[in-house]
Structure 1
Amino acid sequence: MRHAFALTLCLALLAAPAWAVKPDEILADPALEARARDLSRVLRCPVCQSENIDDSNADLARDLRLLVRERLVAGDSDDEVIAFVVARYGEYVLFDPPASGSTLLLWLAGPAMLLGGGAMALLWLRKRAQIQPAALSAEEEARLQEILRK
């Protein structure tokens, strides 16, 4: 009995993001609904920022889900729907923005910082390898031997 409850609880927690889409939002045509779900997964919620609009419970995410479905019912292609949403909300709503214009800097910043950090680490290691310890004087050597014998 306890195992059945735990399994039910786990399944309910896994299905939690699916609760964001309300029954009144779902389209009657299964093909259009599948397209709407696919599009909703690539659009970021401007309020939640880390969730797609399909998983978000924010009011703006609901408005965007309805807008996507409205555009699909109107006959827009997937690219036209995304272009429409981007025109209204900017490229920020895309989880995977194209590498062009202002986003090109963001796409290149990560690899550039990685290469720069690697170059700095390499230079530091090379400089460290070149440093030779100073030789001990005769007095220091004698004192060291005395300490080691004790």
Structure 2
Amino acid sequence: MRALLVILLLIATPVFAVQPDEILDDPALEARARVITADLRCVVCRNESVDDSNAEIARDIRLMVRERLVAGDSNAEAIQYMVDRYGEFILLNPRITGTNLLLWLAGPALLLTGLLVAVISLRRRRVTEEPLSEAEEARLAQLLDE
């Protein structure tokens, strides 16, 4: 039973990622900070939001976001500050612009190309059934008798 409790606590540790000393006094600013940090990727933990990560750098990013909001930045300005500092990689949902547009469109384009190649291949393979000639029937009968 104790082992099960330890395992459950280890699984739930990301829930406790935001420390009490990080939380802002203003509930509106704190809510905005949570929205922003939930959409930022931890640069250490792959595909984990800054809000859920226990890494030191995630804590630093959470504090920077809160500092920007206290300084008067809008959500977009705070996010842009983080993108300027860490690059587009920090966004869990990257923007669909520029080079990213190519990456967003490459998957569907390759899928459609593969489907087109498969359809063309299957159409070329289609064999029309013609009746056997007398010579072919005789040869087939001979092979089956052997």
TM-score w.r.t. the length of structure 1 is 0.81
Q: Which residue pairs with 2:66 in the alignment?
A: 69
In the TM superposition, residue 83 of structure 1 has moved relative to its aligned partner by 0.5
Q: Which residue pairs with 1:100 in the alignment?
A: 97
Distance 1:35 1:14, change over 3 A: farther
Quote the RMSD (CA, aligned, Å).
2.5
- The sequence identity of aligned pairs, in percent, is 52
In the TM superposition, residue 14 of structure 1 has moved relative to its aligned partner by 7.1
Distance 1:19 1:81, change over 3 A: same
Distance 1:16 1:132, change over 3 A: farther
**CA distance in structure 2 between the partners assigned to 1:57 and 1:134 by the alignment:** 73
Alignment of 1:75-90 (within 5 A): 75-90=72-87
Deviations 1:53-78 (A, max 9, x none): 00111111111001001101111100
Q: Which residue pairs with 1:139 in the alignment?
A: 139
Unaligned runs of 5+ in 1: none
Matched, 1:113 2:116: no
Deviations 1:6-33 (A, max 9, x none): 8x88985774322111111111111111
Matched, 1:43 2:45: no
Unaligned runs of 5+ in 2: none
Size of the aligned set, in residue pairs, is 141
Distance 1:133 1:70, change over 3 A: farther
Matched, 1:54 2:67: no
